[in-house]
Structure 1
């Protein structure tokens, strides 16, 4: 799965929106673009710097967040 697809799917999820502390999909998309320093999520697929930012600032912390959520239920 392309990273941009993963991001698009996550932005729609309420749990991801809670992780980002945003109220909706539109705001989640804006935050993701800002964190990755791109104009569109699709750029993450071809920009190595954006990919690293995505993994370091979004994907890894989000996976840790979901694991904590599961163990605290």
Structure 2
């Protein structure tokens, strides 16, 4: 497994635990971010497109986590 794959998994785990801890679903997060649930899912899985990175930053702020 490459370093990038490991980093992506770590990002995904952080978001998964933060959502679980707040009893929130990705659909709710998508509504708050005003984007589609599919886009949120891609971003939270650690994708690195500019749009995904922006969603990650916004989601991290909402969930109170650091990336």
Normalised by the length of structure 1, the TM-score is 0.45
- Higher relative contact order by CA 8 Å / sep ≥ 6: 1 or 2? 2
Which one has the largest radius of gyration?
A: 1
Normalised by the length of structure 2, the TM-score is 0.47
